[in-house]
Structure 1
Amino acid sequence: MPTTAKQQDRFNRILAAAAQELLDMRDDSTAVDRIALRSGTSKATIYRYFGDKVGLERAMVGWLCERARDPLEGVVAKPSDARSTMIAIGDAFASGVLNRHVMDLHRYVVARASTHPELGEIFWDAGPKRTYEAAANLISNLQLPDHLKAVPARQVAEFFLNMLTGTTQLSYFCLGDDVLHSDEMAERVRNAVTMLGIRDHQDQA
């Protein structure tokens, strides 16, 4: 691990270069050479810091997860206005998670997790697990309709966020950037809240 500011800068440059080279899924025998060239270092330096290519991958996934802001950190629960809170959760999730950078990382981890499950564990703990827990904490403070009160807040969070990710992630993985349209996602968030049966608080019986 780096012990000086100069080493830390080199360390970060290597990880940034690894993200640029590996997340495009061009995972071939020259990947480390390209990372060394892009970061202005050498293969020897990369191996000295990370041991091998898998060690570099672990560090890259962890580094990217650490740099990713919790997408729900700015959302405040309004107990008597469940609908606006759920919309805020959905909008923040869509902005923070359903974007090219995060979904490229997700795709990469899924592709590599069968042979290197530790990559999946790093990503899960720092990403989806943390976000589901944050959403559940917000939802647990809401005055929900009776049919949702019988469902644990963690499951409501999972069902809701999964309604937003399903076809969005799959179509991105298959079709690329063309599927990401903010206006369509905003409408999708509101439709998902409606499908949960959460109405505007003025309309609550």
Structure 2
Amino acid sequence: MSITPKRESALMSAPEAKSLESTAPGRSARAEQRRVAFLDAAREVFLEQGYEAASMAEIVSRAGGSLSTLYSQFGDKEGLFLAVVERRVKELSNAMALELSAHTPAEEGLRRIGQNFVAQLLTPAGVGLYRIILGLAPKFPELSRQFYEKGLSEVRDALAEYLRDREQACELKLRDPLRAAHFFLEMVRGTMAHRALLNPGYFPDAEEINSVVEDAVSLFLDGLRQR
């Protein structure tokens, strides 16, 4: 008669169970380290070679590990690429979550959110990934759709939550928090993003970013402050 995994754990001696418990976190930590290494290597390869030319074997060669581990963690190249994008999105939305948790007043919070959003978005890696996604749209529309749903929407939703919090604090008056969040993000990245996409040598410095964000925050709040 076979013994189920649950029954097997019940038959383990106390030292064996303790040993198993102590190694589980180690295995989890190693798996996370491997995942980070895969994502770092994948971003490099995608940026250097593009999506279609990128080789999973090359990614493993740079990151270490094995192809089987790479596929078990991400499924396929599409899953890996989306994971690279999702990690980037988390970096963009985390700043908004921080301002939400701190209940930062709208003017101060939006200023920091805007500065962080543009500074991280318009890096060589950020612009490079966005160029790849734009190029993929005609041939891989599903991949581009998932980028929009898992990427841009998550950033917009995170900002909308912060705006709702400021509305509850009687600072803002919103008709549609999601649309307001979308407008703000478009205002702060605006011409800088278009210029960066079309001019490979252009990346805005801190002074330019701060100037554009200051103007965007003022214009945005002028239309949304409680009267």
1:167 pairs with 2:167: no
Q: Cα deviations across residues 80-127 of structure 1 (Å, max 9, x unaligned)?
A: xx4334323322322343433333333322322433344334433443
Check if 1:120 corresponds to 2:160: no
Distance 1:39 1:192, change over 3 A: same
Q: Is the 8 Å Cα contact of residues 172 and 179 (structure 1) preserved in structure 2? A: yes
Q: Within 5 A, what are the aligned runs for 1:32-43?
A: 32-41=56-65
Task: Name which structure has the greater RCO, CA cutoff 8 Å, separation 6+.
Answer: 1
Residue 41 of structure 2 is aligned to residue 17 of structure 1? yes
Alignment counterpart, residue 99 of structure 1, candidates 115, 123, 127: 123
Gaps of 5+ in 1: none
CA RMSD, 1 decimal = 3.6
TM-score (norm 1): 0.70
The CA distance in 2 between the partners of 1:128 and 1:65, in whole Å, is 8
Deviations 1:128-156 (A, max 9, x none): 21221222232232424xxxx46422222
Retained in 2: the 8 A contact 1:15–1:60?
A: yes
Report which of the two structures shows the higher radius of gyration computed on alpha carbons: 2
Tell whether 2:162 aligns with 1:138: yes
Structure 2: how far apart are the matches of 1:42 and 1:17?
13
Q: What is aligned with 2:133? A: 109
- 1:182 paired to 2:206: yes
Q: Which amino acid aligns with 2:211?
A: E
Q: 1:25-104 to 2 correspondence within 5 Å? A: 25-27=49-51, 29=53, 31-41=55-65, 46=70, 52-65=76-89, 70-75=94-99, 76-77=102-103, 82-104=106-128
How many equivalent pairs are there?
Answer: 194
Question: Partners of 1:106 and 1:169 in 2: how far apart?
Answer: 10
Distance 1:51 1:84, change over 3 A: closer
The structural deviation recorded for 1:19 is 0.9
CA distance in 1: counterparts of 2:72 and 2:103, whole angstroms: 47
Q: Identity percentage over the alignment?
A: 25
Q: TM-score, normalised by structure 2?
A: 0.65
Match of 2:217 in 1: 193
Summarize the Cα distance change of 1:86–1:13 in structure 2 as closer, same or farther, 3 Å threshold. closer
Q: Which moved more, 1:65-74 or 1:10-19?
A: 65-74
CA contact (8 A) 1:90 1:189 kept: yes
Return the alpha-carbon distance in structure 1 between the equivalents of residues 159 and 72 of structure 2: 40
AA matched with 1:94: V
